[in-house]
Amino acid sequence: MNVKRVSIFLGIVFIALLCTLLFPQLSHLWLGWYNTLGSALKLIVDLLQISFIAILFAGLLVPLEALGWWAGWYGDKINTEIDPGILEEAIPPQTDVVRYVIYLDGIGQASSKYFPDGEKFLSELAAVLPDNIVIIRGLIPYSVLNQPLTEKGILSSFWRFAERLSQSNTGGIVGVLLALTINIRNLLVVAVSADQRFGPIYNQGTAQVMYNSLVHYGYKPGSAVPVTLIGFSGGGQIAMGALSYLKQALSDAPIEVISLAGVISGNNNALLVDHLYHLVGNKDLVERLGPILFPKRWKLLFLSYWNRAKRMGKISFVSLGPVGHMGAGGPLDANKFLKDGCSYLRQTVDIMSKILLEEYPYNQELVKKKISNYERYQQAAFNRPEYYPLNQSVNAQLYRPIASWMGRLILPPKEQRQLGVLFEVHHADAKHKHLVGKVVYLKWIDDPESKISVQSTKKDVHFNAEALYNYTQGKIVPIRINHWRQVTPLESLAGSRPDDDIVVILREPVAVEQNGETVTLYVTSEPVQTSGRFYGLVKFLQPIQPRSEQFRVVHFNRDSRQFDSVEEVVLLPEVIPFHEGFYPSTNRDIEKSPLNDTGWYIYGAKNASGIFVVQALAPRALLRVQPQEVIVGRKAAREYLRKRSWENITTHKGQIQSVLLSRKSMDIQQAMSPWREGDCALVVHVYGGIGGKKREAAAKAPIYFGHFAYGVAVVVREPLTGELRFEIEYHQVYCHNRDGLIAGRLSWIRYIGDRQFGWLGIRPVCDILIKIDALTQDYDVDEVKRLPLGVIMRQLEIMTARYRIGDGMGATYVGPANNCAQDSNQAIYAAIRAIQVAIQFNPTDIPYAIKTNPEFKNWLLRHPEYATSFKQLVNLSTSLRHQLLPFGVARADWQNTTTTIGSSLADSPLQQVFRALVSWRTILPRKSGDTVTQIFLKQGASLWILSTSQLGNTDPDIAAIAPFTF
């Protein structure tokens, strides 16, 4: 006799006897049925009773198994090598795996053996995927111990019998009943996973199983290799339940979930998934129960994780057409066909393979209802890059390249992404002049700091509903990289606008690599957005005729120090006006400006006719290291910062201010002595509003908040004059807008001086340059030079890269907790923490730290020259922390840089308001600037204020508005 049959029979008899002992009344019932029913029907009834008892018994064991795993009943250490799953196809040697896929089967699973349709599905999916995408199968998602029902346990023989008959073509009604038994038992497991009491324990256990399996097959935690979980039916809930724990274990690697007819509760944090693809058939009645049975998926609970994830665009619903839930007519049925002749199985394989290969077609039609300012500006030829020939030369005595390395960013085709973004070279250093005019690749250099910056900002980009709506309303969002996986900072910069028109400076060092015909440039920092290619210094004489766009100018003569050099004609084209009707700049009466005597820096390039086109302007008097006024004394300096600075800005339209603040009484030369060639300074930038009869929409409210940013200023020797001047760059934490202004590193030339896109002619602007040795001195830590100001700029680069893609959601929004001031200062807070970690301690008292921290004592002994400035740095960081976080507690998102940038106030209003109150001094731009500036002034910093107020714009219908503070 077959041993298995004997064991099954004995198991059934044992369960029947046990039930009879527990429930004596059953014996009379069974005896009556036995005398009246035929043998076949009696067998079915017996199986029903046994199945019911098995389901009841197994259902009670599910939470107990999870609790037992948590309590360690199964041993202190679990052998992670047991049942790690198997590979659908072996990984070929030397394969660089780009994605791991874990398949979690439906509720019909009793062991690692799948139904024939599941086997065929995985086989066909593996056949169309490349070798570098690995599929792991065979896990048991319905056991916290990854233990099949058919192994161990007193019911294992029964489950083996049930599995064999349920998967057999000759099982008949008995097979159907036994399959139903397995389904109901596993459905109870799904309920436990969704349960908010036992679920966290169970889900952590299944995440551990998946983690063990990934590591077993070569996954390296921290490598950021993406992982995809495919959950069929109940496997969808198991995948979403394990998501948060698996993401934490894999060091925040990208994890997406493909739900195939998945039953998902919505109780788990769907905000953590990089993306959820929910594939559902129109005839799937089981999946339709999810939105009904689980309250967290009700539309009424709009603040639930599920509904917030839907609004953020993290969930894509994919219709499978007239397809059911599972089995015959289900998504894995190879014998049912769509109208186009494609089988249900083939459709499923095609959709999943396209998702995994990043080729899924998103055919959502978006109709633009409003035209943006950026699109209006593109109507002018001089605002488009093709207006300026690539190969052009200028008189080297009159014009200089803006930078050694310059060019235009071009978003590459999707299939060429791994090579880097494309870069059209406009300027190159002396050794690589042959590259000018060519298109090369641009990538980040492979060093530890760059890796950290890139990996911390790489995200899958899937637009949420608000981002798509903003696109239709005329805001410039990175629509070209929507649904791209793992977008890098360079890609988000190149793809931020609908056209490839972003001209940038590459800051040194730039490494050049040539491999055959392929040339690749490597950079260590984000490119700087700018305008033009060359610059000169001129004085405007007059237009060649009234109201002409062509102006006669005379160049500066370095020898005579006068404007008596070559005369020529340049083009100042009329710019396109804003929607409100005012012009960003005007060429009218520019020769009559009080700033014309000291000259203007003009930035641009020649057009096809050989005429130099002025794209941007900068008054020489503003940027040169020569103040108009020196304010002496701490009290006078504080008074000027609080009141006089903005009063002067708003009441002196068309003028500049260059004011040096000095705490000590000294003459102007002594006050200027700290500002030497090569020195750096932190820039605190605040701008005001556009008022008057043609006031901007944002200034129509009673209060105008303004804008805040940090930047860096460098004192350089300008070659055309031989004098010192400031070269300023901003790190603009800027929301998506209608002007096409992109968050990131922007030169003063682009952000302020550009005649079409800049603010020089229409906004009051105040830049406070802060110079303090503690911030601008290199610290030698472990033989590595660390510049605190450089650490701040690196953190700001990370923040602005996050802003460009809205942390993967496509857009950013202004709110009390997330705005230009709050998030710029979050970057400052992160930089302070990074500096303290680099020194490996956080002292508040230097003598005490020397006594208690031998590492710090040894460091100071090796570098005594840092003692004074480092003490100042510690005091500065302490003051900044206390002022930025007045309650002494760091905001959760500041501490952990959690994903909140792409969410709006409607997603979590109470949380955002609470976070804003924790850092209330950085809610308002001007208040934030005042707070930070006063801290530096108290610590002995030298301050230089550069301000402008609607320069070169003679429109009487606009006026300057100071930003609100309290």
Confidence of residue 539 (pLDDT cuts 50, 70, 90): very high
Cβ neighbours for 135, distance < 8 A, ≥ 6 positions apart: 87, 88, 89, 101, 102, 103, 122, 125, 126, 129
The two beta strands, 99-104 and 133-137, are: parallel
Q: What are phi and psi of 836, to 5 degrees?
A: -65, -40
Q: What are phi and psi of 197, to 5 degrees?
A: -100, -55
Cα 606 from Cα 601, distance rounded (Å): 16
Residue 386: other Cβ atoms inside 10 A:
9
Confidence of residue 17 (pLDDT cuts 50, 70, 90): very low
Structure tokens at 560: 């005579």
Count of positions (residues) in the chain: 966
Average pLDDT along the chain: 82
Cα 598 from Cα 892, distance rounded (Å): 50
Cβ neighbours for 583, distance < 8 A, ≥ 6 positions apart: 574, 575, 577, 761, 762, 953, 955
Helix (H, G, I), strand (E, B) or coil at 719: coil
Give the model's pLDDT for residue 406.
Answer: 97
The answer to which of 85-89, 161-165, 372-376 has the lowest mean pLDDT is 161-165
Question: Is 319's pLDDT higher than 70?
Answer: yes
Question: Is 535's pLDDT higher than 90?
Answer: yes
Mean pLDDT score, 263-290 = 88
Question: Is 444's pLDDT higher than 70?
Answer: yes
Give the model's pLDDT for residue 819.
Answer: 77
Question: Is 45's pLDDT higher than 80?
Answer: no
Confidence of residue 842 (pLDDT cuts 50, 70, 90): very low
The two beta strands, 680-687 and 612-619, are: unpaired
Using alpha carbons, select from 765, 674, 688 the residue that is nearest to residue 728: 765
Cβ neighbours for 903, distance < 8 A, ≥ 6 positions apart: 308, 312, 809, 813, 818
More confidently predicted of 742 and 222: 742
Write down the pTM of the prediction.
0.76
**Looking at 566-667, which runs of residues are DSSP E strands?**
567-571, 600-606, 612-619, 629-632, 656-662
Cα 192 from Cα 617, distance rounded (Å): 66
Mean pLDDT score, 445-454 = 79
pLDDT in tens, 629-676: 988 888 888 888 887 888 888 888 889 999 999 876 566 677 777 889
Give the model's pLDDT for residue 8.
Answer: 47
End-to-end CA distance of the chain: give it in Å, rounded: 92
Cα 490 from Cα 419, distance rounded (Å): 12
More confidently predicted of 601 and 955: 601
Using alpha carbons, select from 526, 502, 533 the residue that is nearest to residue 798: 526
Cα 441 from Cα 427, distance rounded (Å): 15
Question: Is 343's pLDDT higher than 90?
Answer: yes
Give the model's pLDDT for residue 152.
Answer: 65
pLDDT in tens, 846-901: 444 444 455 555 666 666 666 666 777 777 777 777 777 666 555 555 555 545 56
Helix (H, G, I), strand (E, B) or coil at 553: strand
Residue-wise over 323-336: b if at least 16 C-beta within 10 A, else e? bbbbeebbbbbbeb
Q: For the chain, what is the radius of gyration of the CA atoms?
A: 34
CA dihedral 43, 48, 53, 54 (to 10 degrees): 90
Question: Is 87's pLDDT higher than 80?
Answer: yes
Give the model's pLDDT for residue 746.
Answer: 98
Using alpha carbons, select from 552, 535, 647, 653 the residue that is nearest to residue 593: 653
The answer to which of 342-346, 452-456, 643-647, 726-730 has the lowest mean pLDDT is 452-456
Q: Contact, 470 vs 476, CB < 8 A?
A: no
Confidence of residue 685 (pLDDT cuts 50, 70, 90): very high
Using alpha carbons, select from 43, 44, 45, 54 the residue that is nearest to residue 19: 54
Mean pLDDT score, 471-494 = 92
CA 771 to mean position of chain CA atoms: 31
pLDDT in tens, 603-614: 999 999 999 999
